[in-house]
Amino acid sequence: MHTLSRLRGKHFFTPVMADSAMDVMLSLFVGELQSSKVSDTALAVGNMLNREETETIIDRLVQAGLAVITGHEPDRRTVGLTPLGSARMRSFVNDYPDV
């Protein structure tokens, strides 16, 4: 999956997908495939990000229409892919079946 992050430019044309944003998108995509809810805390821990970095990335992904936040209470907040985000990730992964 991380090899795919180096090939991201073909599918994601905006700077929103730079740096750790792609790792967060990959985490959200895996969560979607596993039908698991993903908390912002899990994103931070799983991608070795601090709280501020995680919030910034999530906000940028939401603004780009790639992610959505559900449950705005701190203990119940989860993040997921929008239909657009999911479609982009599926297209991205399908273009590199050998990875």
Residue 32: give its domain's CATH number.
Answer: 1.10.10.10
Whether 11 maps to a domain, the answer reads yes
Q: State the number of CA atoms in the 13 A half-sphere of 93 facing the CB.
A: 14
In whole angstroms, give the CA distance from residue 22 to residue 20: 5
Give the tens place of pLDDT for each residue, 36-69.
989 999 999 888 889 999 999 999 999 999 999 9
Burial class from Cβ neighbours inside 10 Å (0-12, 13-18, 19+) for residue 92 reads: buried
Tally the domains of the chain: 1
Whether 98 maps to a domain, the answer reads no
pTM: 0.78
Query: Which of 6-10, 30-34, 89-93 has the weakest average pLDDT?
Result: 6-10
Whether 57 maps to a domain, the answer reads yes
